[in-house]
Amino acid sequence: MKKIQMVDVVSQYMRYESEINNKILNVVKSGAYIQGVEVQDFEFSLSQYLKSKYVISCANGTDALYVALMSLNLKEGDEVIVPTFTFVSTVEVVCLLGLKPVFIDVDKDTFLINPHLIEKYISKKTRAIIPVHLFGQCCDMYSINLMAQKYNLFIIEDAAQSIGSQCMFSNNSQDRKFSGTIGDIGITSFYPSKNLGCFGDGGAIFTQNNKLSKKIRLIVNHGQKKKYSYDIVGLNSRLDALQAAVLSIKLQYLDLFNHERQKVANYYDKAFSDIEWITTPTQLKSSDHVYHQYSILLSSEINRDNFSNYLFKNDIPTMIYYPKPLHLQKAYSSFCHESLPVSEMLSNNIISLPIHSEMNMEQLEFICSTIKKYVES
C-alpha cells in the first residue's frame, strides 16, 4: 500500500506533471518572475471562477488579511470580532495594526463562529467581523450579514481553507455565492496543503468594491500607483510568476480536487456512523463543504494522545487543529477574561484524519478498519 499522508502534494503534482512543468519552464524562459502576464492571467481566471469583480494576489494568506484590514481605515483601538477557534493569522494581524480582537466562541457542531453570540459582543468600538470558513465549510453568512448591516460593520471573510465552496447569503436557498465573495473583502491562502495550493506561498484578496480594490492594489505594491511615486503607506506583498503559473494549472482542476475530498469525507462518514465515540463533521444545508480538513470529535472517555499514537504506530498520520484556542494563548490572553467553553472543549477532543485528492480505496479501507479496531486501554 502506498504511504498514507495527511496531504499528498507530490502525487497531485505527478498527475499534472507535464502541464505544470511546461508552464513553469515558460516562465523561467521569459525572465518575467515578478508580477507580469502570468500573475495577471491568474488573477483574471480566479475572478472569473469566483465571480468576483476584483482579485488582487499577494505573498501569502496572512498578508492578505493584513492588507484587507489596512484598506478599511480602521483606527487604533477599534474592535474586530474574531472566533477563538482558528489559526493564529486571523488574530495576529488585528493586533499588529493596533486593533483589539474580541474573541467569541464557535458552534459545537460546525466549529464555525456562532452567529447567535455576535450581537452580545458588539460595542461602540466594534468596526468589523472576521468570519473564518474553517476546515472547508462556510459560516452562516446570511445571519452575519444581517448583523453587519444592523450595526454598520465591515465583513472580512477568511476563506483560507474554503476556496471553491459556496454558501447562502440570503434566506433564499438558491442564492449562493463562493466563499470570500460575500463580505466587503475576502481572502484566501495558496499554502501548498490548501485545496488550491502552490509550490511555495501565496495569497489573494477579493472584493466587489472598486474603490477598495484600487486601495488594496496600492498597498500590496509599496503604496505606489506609478513607480517611485508613493500615494499611501504600503508594503511588499506579491505573488511571483512561478507560483501564479502553478496555480493557473491547478485552478482548472479545483472542482475536481474538492469533489475527490468530498468522496473521501463521505466514505469516512459512513464508516464511522456506528462508532459511538466518534462524532463526524456536520454538513450544513446552507454551505458546501470542501474538506480542507476532515476533523472528528472524540468522546471524553477516549484519550486523544493514546488514539493518535495508536494510529501513528499503524502508519496513519493525524493532526490536531487546534490544540489551544487563541484566547488562552499567552500572546492574546489579555484580550479575553472569560471562558469560551465550546472552543476549549474542541481543543481537547478534536483530531484530523488524512484527506486529499489523491487518496485511494486501499488507504481508506485500511484507515477505517484500523480505527474500528481501536480499544481504549
The CATH number that applies at residue 218 is 3.40.640.10
Q: Please give the grid coordinates belonging to residue 203.
A: 495569497
Is residue 240 domain-shared with residue 327, that is, in the same domain?
Answer: no
Is residue 156 domain-shared with residue 191, that is, in the same domain?
Answer: yes
Query: Would the pLDDT of 174 be above 70?
Result: yes
- Would 377 be classed as within a structural domain? no
Of 227, 178, 183, 232, the C-alpha closest to 70 is: 232
- Out of 225, 251, 277, pick the residue that ends a domain: 251
Of 340, 350, 344, 346, the C-alpha closest to 103 is: 340
Is residue 14 domain-shared with residue 94, that is, in the same domain?
Answer: yes
H-helix segments, 152-240: 210-219
Gyration radius of the chain over CA positions: 21
Reported pTM: 0.96
Q: Could you tell me the pLDDT band of residue 139, with boundaries at 50, 70 and 90?
A: very high
- Would 1 be classed as within a structural domain? no
pLDDT in tens, 255-269: 999 999 999 999 999
C-alpha 47/C-alpha 257 separation (Å) is 19
Residue type, 131: P
Is residue 290 domain-shared with residue 237, that is, in the same domain?
Answer: no
Is residue 220 domain-shared with residue 172, that is, in the same domain?
Answer: yes
Query: Would the pLDDT of 112 be above 80?
Result: yes
- Would 339 be classed as within a structural domain? yes
Is residue 84 domain-shared with residue 204, that is, in the same domain?
Answer: yes
Query: Would the pLDDT of 160 be above 80?
Result: yes
Domain around 352: 254-372
Is residue 195 domain-shared with residue 330, that is, in the same domain?
Answer: no
- Would 153 be classed as within a structural domain? yes
Mean pLDDT of the chain: 96
Of 281, 275, 265, 324, the C-alpha closest to 302 is: 275
Is residue 231 domain-shared with residue 259, that is, in the same domain?
Answer: no
Going by DSSP bridges, is the β-strand pair 203-207/176-178 parallel, antiparallel, or unpaired?
A: unpaired
Q: Could you tell me the pLDDT band of residue 44, with boundaries at 50, 70 and 90?
A: very high
Output 168 or 330, whichever has higher pLDDT: 330
Is residue 288 domain-shared with residue 229, that is, in the same domain?
Answer: no
Percent of the chain with pLDDT over 90: 96
Measured CA to CA in angstroms, residue 156 lies from 72, 91, 148 at distances of 10, 12, 11
- Would 4 be classed as within a structural domain? no
- Would 323 be classed as within a structural domain? yes
State residue 377's pLDDT score: 60
pLDDT in tens, 62-109: 999 999 999 999 999 999 999 999 999 999 999 999 999 999 999 999
H-helix segments, the chain: 9-15, 17-30, 36-50, 61-70, 89-96, 115-118, 141-151, 210-219, 241-251, 254-272, 304-313, 341-349, 361-372
Query: Would the pLDDT of 213 be above 70?
Result: yes
